[in-house]
């Protein structure tokens, strides 16, 4: 996993509540057995005017000019600004793989769906919760200002606006550590293999039917 410490980048607004994982990456692309290559199909149904299928050349497809990701002013954005309940719906990690593959490292929203939120951390993407009023202010500022960038500092846990306003955000200490160091959490868990075996031995005595 790629480390995350600080990022200063362009912000793209996606002004809809309840953006679900079916919208982030439609199901026809879930047939892939790979982990990469989902970026061109991120938000496929909103981004393109035609219907997309896996393994298709996306470069010649008609783009929806109204969709923010297609607009010239937002090209190169690495921070996605969203509304309530971002990432709701299925558990598909493909949604985060698509965001990451497209180039996003940060998603800011007033709230996230749990599984999506969790999946972000496994892939070096930082989901940041800011209260609805701040998010609202960011939407207005981003839309009003060409080239609007935010500075994200994971060590200090701050989001800093171009005007120099700095807002704190919360992040779980363990997840922060993994993200800063780019750690594989399976390796970390396996350091506790003995504790896991001890638990199993105890449980097997209490509830043997669980181990059939």
Q: What is the contact surface with other proteins in residues (CB under 8 A)?
A: 16-18, 20, 22-23, 26-28, 30-35, 45, 51, 54-55, 83-85, 88-94, 96, 111-115, 118-119, 122-123, 172-174, 184-186, 189-190, 192-193, 195-196, 199-200, 203, 207-212
Give 34 or 163: the residue with its C-beta nearer to other proteins: 34
Residue 80 or 113 having the CB closest to other proteins:
113
**Rounded to the nearest whole angstrom, what is the least distance from the CB of residue 63 to other proteins in the complex?**
16
Residue 15 Cβ vs other proteins, minimum distance, rounded to whole Å? 8
Quick one: 32 or 70, whose CB is closer to other proteins? 32
In angstroms, what is the minimal distance from the CB of 53 to other proteins? 9
Closest approach of other proteins to the CB of residue 146, in Å: 24
Pick the closer one to other proteins by CB: 6 or 36. 36
Query: What residue has token string 């299928």?
Result: 53
The nearest distance, CB 167 to other proteins, in angstroms, is 20
Nearer to other proteins, 181 or 200 (CB): 200
Distance between CA 13 and CA 85 in Å, rounded? 15
């Amino acid at each position: 996993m790629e480390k995350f410490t600080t990022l200063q980048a362009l912000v793209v607004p996606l002004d809809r509540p309840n953006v679900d994982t079916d919208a982030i990456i439609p199901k026809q692309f879930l047939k892939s057995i790979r982990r990469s290559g989902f970026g061109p199909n991120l938000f496929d149904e909103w981004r393109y005017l035609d219907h997309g299928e896996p393994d298709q050349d996306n470069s010649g497809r008609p783009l929806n000019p109204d969709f923010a990701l297609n607009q010239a002013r937002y090209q190169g954005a690495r921070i996605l600004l969203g509304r309530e309940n971002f990432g709701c719906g299925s558990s598909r990690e493909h949604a985060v793989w698509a965001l990451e593959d497209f180039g996003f490292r940060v998603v800011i929203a007033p709230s996230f769906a749990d599984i999506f939120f969790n999946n972000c951390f496994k892939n070096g993407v930082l989901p940041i919760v800011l209260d609805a009023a701040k998010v609202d202010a960011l939407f207005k500022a981003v839309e009003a200002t060409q080239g609007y960038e935010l500075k994200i500092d994971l060590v200090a846990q701050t989001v800093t606006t171009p005007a120099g306003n700095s807002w704190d955000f919360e992040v779980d200490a363990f997840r922060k550590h993994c993200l800063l160091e780019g750690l594989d959490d399976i390796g970390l868990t396996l350091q506790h293999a003995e504790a896991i075996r001890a638990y199993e031995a105890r449980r097997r005595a209490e509830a043997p039917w669980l181990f059939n």
